Amino acid sequence: MPTVHSATYELLRRQGLTTVFGNPGSNELPFLKNFPTDFRYVLGLHEGVVVGMADGFALASGRPALVNLHAAAGSGNAMGALTNAWYSHSPLVLTAGQQARSMIGVESMLANVDAPQLPRPLVKWSYEPSCPEDVPRALSQAIHTANLPARGPVYVSIPHDDWGHEVSAETALLSEREVSSAALPSEAQLETLAERLNAARNPVLVLGPDVDAYSANALAVTLAERINAPAWVAPSASRCPFPTRHASFRGVLPAAIQGISDRLAGHDLIVVIGAPVFRYHQYAPGRYLPEGAKLIHLTCDMQEAARAPMGDALIGDIHATLEALMPRLQQSDRARPEALPRPEPQVDPEGLLTPETVFDVMNALAPEDAIYVKESTSTVTAFWERVEMRHPGSYFFPAAGGLGFGLPAAVGVQLARPERRVIGVIGDGSANYAITALWSAAQYRIPVVFVILKNGTYGALRWFSRLLDAEDSPGLDVPGLDFCALAKGYGVEAVAVSARHDFETALQTALDDDKPRVIEVSTTTIEP
């Protein structure tokens, strides 16, 4: 008879979840016992790093990723990273080892009390099977739930004495299942949408991360060219949905109510695709919509559609909806948008590089299909202005703003996309949240180029301190960090640079290598 252990591994195998990201504790050892040779285990030294690596892997591959956490403590350590996964629609299947069933009620050491409640509200579904025989079915439900629209993380707590129990041969039916969605608007809905677009006097597109997640980037370009509309990236951008040198590209909208309304003034129809309406951050109240404007929202997420404060929403598969819409749209005779001017080079002060110079060098030397995993919040605007991204899946940023994403996510993205070079652009304030990801990169020889921008302060906080009249707040600076020493301690070669020529040499050397490298760059401080 099959056991919970053998049935689960067969299920995972058939569903393609053969890479396990984890940091094991005693509760997890019965699951990891007799680990199959066709599976890969990626060890992280902290659960936040484990989930960050899995998050990057899932986002870049477009498939669910399996995470193995340790009871309540390990799950708690992972919660910060889980916040980003929730808002990025990352399909993570989180499993957590639980104490033996007979020991849970007395709250023995390592018992995860009321385990399904622990990760909420940052998961789509959370469950602890009521009996050992239900474990494979629960994991099957978790995998399909994570992968169905809108994608997102799920959580299953599994008592460690369940793995050896026998299960029915009928359990094999779970491995044969396929679950898919077909969310396409009706003909009437598509006709109405096309009529509104064709009748618009001056439409504008606002494109979000799910355009990239659904590989609808080329369709977004076709749409912009068909209706001759400018294309903005939705605020708090976690992915790049539109080529940044296209004539229609206008940059990233500010994450403020009045700021968005000001940028979109003069447009009579705002079409938001694959993004919430809107992910605000800075408190700048004002009108939700410019005078005379209407809004249409195309999304894969019913929760995003329901909570939006304005506009008409249509829920469906982003790629399929745009594909079906395009034949119904007339070619506009409006003047086409003109490309934005290229920014001028910056003058670097002695002994420092401006972030703008760093990004100019990256843009010149990196492969055209490079993937950038970015966690330097104070340099967001400069990055989008200066780095050309033309391919799908070229940019990942923490969707919830939770620090600790960049280093591990870069490792996970590189694991998922070995044919493309991954460059992690990390602020010195961000890097220490997940610095142990360097160890995983070294141990598994994952050739990520980590560029750490070192300015000795939390640059974004400095900016906010001025906005909030709180410049005397403590804890805004992080002096005395030596990332070369830290990197070498984890087994990663590193070099510190403070001049353009030295950075060019270091970056080219790193790109030519087949193992991870850290480049610490002394930079000026700029505003987001």
Q: Which residues are catalytic?
A: 25-26, 28, 47, 70, 281, 401
Partnered with residue 519 across adjacent β-strands are: 451, 495
Complete DSSP assignment for 91-151: -EEEEEEE--HHHHTTT-TT--TTGGGTTTTSSSEEE--SSGGGHHHHHHHHHHHHHSSSP
Distance CA 417, CA 261 (A): 38
Positive or negative, the Cα torsion across 369, 370, 376, 379?
A: negative
CA 12 to chain centre: 23
Distance CA 299, CA 380 (A): 25
| Cis peptide leading into residue 30 (ω within 30°) | no
E-state strands within 368-460: 371-375, 395-396, 422-427, 449-454
Distance CA 436, CA 105 (A): 35
Distance CA 44, CA 33 (A): 18
Q: Name the residue type at position 416.
A: A
Distance CA 371, CA 366 (A): 9
Partnered with residue 95 across adjacent β-strands are: 68, 156
**How long, in residues, is the chain?**
528
Distance CA 437, CA 429 (A): 15
Distance CA 361, CA 382 (A): 13
What would the two tokens of residue 300 be? 């894969």
Contact call for residues 450 and 424 (beta carbons, < 8 A): yes
Q: Name the residue type at position 134.
A: D
What would the two tokens of residue 130 be? 């009521």
Phi-psi sector, 197: left (phi>0), alpha (psi -120 to 50), beta: alpha
